[in-house]
Chain A
Amino acid sequence: MSQHEVSVTINGDKQTRTVEARTLLVHFIRENLGLTGTHIGCDTTSCGACTVSIDGEAVKSCTVFAVQADGATIETVEGLAAGGVLHPLQEGFWEKHGLQCGFCTPGMLISARALLARNPHPTESEIRHGISGNLCRCTGYNKIVEAIQYAAEKLGAAGKGA
């Protein structure tokens, strides 16, 4: 029943807490660090609502123990809008109606950002493949794909990656 000190850099802030080994990263983020933008959906490693970026890779934070992330750099949806200005992906979801209920959106945004970081000009099929670990029960995905295309164009025009 070991307790462990876990230090992470999350959205640029260094945070340290002592938690049980069994604490899942998603609970660590929501309950220990108070960042509730990351959602818990299925609890079965299926839906992707809990997606966060760990050292640049999008992963399901319900399927990682907080202790495994000790020393890692984590980014959540709260880190996307720099200085209160929406990230182009957030803007795309706004402009293209990429959400209805919004429950999947934080995970979608993080997955989409990881996708654009790897592949700044994805085809529609590459976008659909890239977000295939994130389930949306409202939009039918078309609007989400358009939102990501919007962001890819905007980021491309600005000459910077995601």
Chain B
Amino acid sequence: MIPAPFDYHAPQTLDEAIALLGRLGDTAKILAGGQSLIPAMRFRLALPDTLVDIGRIRDLAYVEERGDHLAIGAMTREHALEAAPVVAASYPLLLDTAKVIADPLVRNKATVGGNLAHADPANDHPATMLAYGAQIIARGAKGTRTIAIDDLFVGLFETSLAPGEILTEIRIPKPGKGSGGAYLKIERKVGDYAVAAVAVQLELAGGAIKHIRIGLTNVSSVPMRAKNAEAALTGKKPTDDVLDAAGKAGAAECDPSADLRGQVDYKRDMVRVLIKRAVRHAVHRAQGGKP
């Protein structure tokens, strides 16, 4: 299948890309790794008049700790996350996630920024970044601004990025002492989207959960946090009863659709199970456990 015809630009700098997007308006789409956009164009689900390929802009691919956060350039490939020592050392939730996105060939091209900006609730990074409480850096004609991840996803395939703005960086707060995280995904086969997946990032203090954020994958039309499950866990010791209550809360508050991956009740139940397992795993890691 061959995509419909389009015009193509490959700017060398961010300023050039922003100027192009300003001139072309919303008939243009940004091409990053292309692993979602190109399939959509082949199926003619996406019919952009123009592609602005940001793949030739230098210095948009990096993963490094800067001050109080981990900075990830928007064009960082998923494989680079898998290979980065800093991710393996301190960001287990992020490493878990990078390992299960699509398949190894796709991860060589797919980008972190694209995974978020596409705002597909079936993508894996939205839940992970919601759990981390990440910040998104966006640049446009009016300058640079910071968007809290909680404010990024506004609809199915829709973000709060303004037309002409480019997502340039993701910032994950450095986990404090006693922190742990985990991403658990049920998929029918390698490369498929999740039946359901759960991202957990938490901090322990005195054996109790001091802070926790939970993101859910592919069980709602907009990437979501399981806030009721978070509330059921915050301030409590992660006993079996507390985990049961949190799993049930998450199952109730998600909003999955029935499809080839399963019926609504099944998906809710998988959310329940995954929340319990992911919280247990995150607690294990927060207590210094490996992996």
Contacts and interface: CB of A to CB of B under 8 A. Distances in A.
Contact of B105 (A1, A51, A129): A51
Nearest to A40: B1
Contact of B35 (A23, A45, A58, A65): A45
Given A21-B51, A58-B108, A111-B104, A63 B6 contact: no
A133 B42 CA distance: 20
- Which of A43, A57, A63 counts the most chain B CB atoms within 10 A? A63
B190 interface: yes
B88 to A, nearest CB: 15
Interface in B96-136: 102-106, 108-109
Nearest to A22: B3
Contacts of B103: 48, 132-133
Interface string B1-36: 111111110100000000000000000000100110
B104 A1 contact: no
A45 B193 CA distance: 13
A64 B109 CA distance: 9
Contacts of B105: 48, 51, 58-60, 111, 133-134
A123 interface: no
A133 B106 contact: yes
A140 to B, nearest CB: 15
Interface residues of B, number: 29
Interface in A1-39: 1-2, 4, 20-24, 27
Nearest to A27: B2
B155 interface: no
Contacts of A51: 105
B109 A67 contact: no
Given A27-B2, A48-B105, A68 B34 contact: yes
B55 interface: yes
Counting contact residues on chain A (CB < 8 A from B), the size range is: 20 to 34
A44 interface: yes
A120 interface: no
Contacts of B288: none
Interface string B142-162: 000000000000000000000
Interface string B204-245: 000000000000000000000000000000000000000000
A56 B275 CA distance: 39
A14 to B, nearest CB: 20
Contact of A22 (B5, B35, B190): B5
A1 B50 CA distance: 9
Given A68-B34, A133-B105, A24 B2 contact: yes
B264 interface: no
Contacts of A45: 35, 38-39, 106
A142 interface: no
B143 to A, nearest CB: 29
22 contacts: A1-B6, A2-B7, A4-B8, A21-B6, A22-B2, A23-B2, A24-B2, A24-B38, A43-B42, A45-B38, A46-B191, A48-B103, A57-B108, A58-B108, A59-B109, A60-B109, A65-B8, A67-B8, A68-B34, A68-B53, A132-B190, A133-B102
Please name the 4 residue pairs, one residue from A and one from B, whose CB atoms are nearest each other, closest first: A133-B103, A21-B8, A133-B105, A1-B5
